[in-house]
């Protein structure tokens, strides 16, 4: 379905069949990706659920991202904060425009997309019903602790990831757990790239969490 003008380029795929009652998935691509990239992943993780997939609005040497960075792993925190609120507002409007119902979306983010999904959890905890974070870092330390009780989070981490390091994974998991989220960290013997093992583990977790039928 073509997107309407909600301030982001995005793809929306309506729910089909038995998945009509399940929460929609919010797909957030990595640096250099776009709104098309993660649609196959969303379909593999949760066949038939509604998919909302925006394109990040920041360009770094022509590559779309969800917020500015000053260097690898060094984030422009003012931009990150503003972009997180902008994305949260887009999600709210898109839910209304596309009639997505009461269930809050489940974010599925990879790398830069996982980082903005984590920022959504920390700065706008009312927006997401859960999240799958592949290769995420600590995006920001929130000034006030969010209330994430009842929000399940899966973190897919690579033991040899030189960007989202194991230490970053553990700090992020502790931050989310401290805010009340139910966090499961799944380690794979891999680097920053996504593997079939990550996807299979996330799929199992989504089923266990009741997010897919």
Q: Is 5 a catalytic residue?
A: no
CA nearest to 136, candidates 159, 160, 156, 107: 156
Q: Judged by CB under 6 A, which stretch of 15-23, 36-44, 50-58, 107-115 contacts ligand MLT?
A: 107-115
Q: Residues 152 to 191: which contact ligand MLT by CB under 6 A?
A: 163
**CA dist 121 to 51, 124, 213, Å?**
19, 6, 24
Annotated catalytic residue, options 76, 89, 192, 209 = 192
Choice from 23, 24, 30, 109 touching ligand MLT (CB under 6 A): 30
* Position 72 contacts ligand MLT (CB under 6 A): yes
Q: What gap in Å lies between CA 180 and CA 34, rounded to an integer?
A: 32
* Position 23 contacts ligand MLT (CB under 6 A): no
Angle between helices 112-123 and 166-178 (to 10 degrees): 20
Number of residues in the chain: 213
Query: How far apart are CB 194 and ligand MLT at their closest, in Å?
Result: 13
Distance of CA 162 to the CA centre of its chain: 20
Annotated catalytic residue, options 79, 111, 147, 165 = 111
Interacting residue ranges for ligand MLT, rule: CB under 6 A: 30-31, 69, 72-73, 111-112, 115, 163
What amino acid positions are annotated as catalytic residues? Answer: 111, 161, 192
């Amino acid at each position: 379905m073509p997107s309407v003008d909600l301030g982001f380029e995005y793809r929306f795929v309506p729910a089909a069949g038995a998945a009509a009652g399940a929460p929609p998935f919010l797909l957030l691509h990595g640096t250099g990706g776009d709104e098309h990239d993660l649609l196959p992943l969303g379909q593999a993780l949760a066949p038939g659920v509604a998919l909302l997939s925006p394109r990040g609005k920041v360009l770094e040497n022509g590559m779309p991202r969800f917020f500015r960075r000053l260097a690898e792993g060094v984030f422009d925190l003012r931009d990150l904060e503003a972009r997180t609120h902008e994305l949260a507002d887009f999600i709210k409007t898109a839910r209304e425009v596309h009639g997505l119902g009461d269930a809050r979306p489940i974010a599925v983010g990879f790398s830069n997309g996982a980082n903005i999904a984590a920022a959504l959890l920390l700065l706008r905890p009312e927006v997401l019903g859960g999240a799958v974070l592949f290769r995420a870092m600590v995006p920001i330390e929130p000034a006030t602790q969010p209330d994430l009780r009842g929000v399940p989070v899966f973190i897919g981490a690579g033991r040899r990831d030189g960007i989202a390091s194991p230490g970053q994974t553990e700090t992020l998991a502790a931050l989310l757990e401290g805010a009340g989220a139910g966090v499961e960290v799944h380690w794979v013997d891999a680097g920053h790239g996504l593997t079939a093992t990550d996807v299979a583990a996330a799929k199992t977790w989504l089923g266990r969490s009741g997010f897919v039928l």
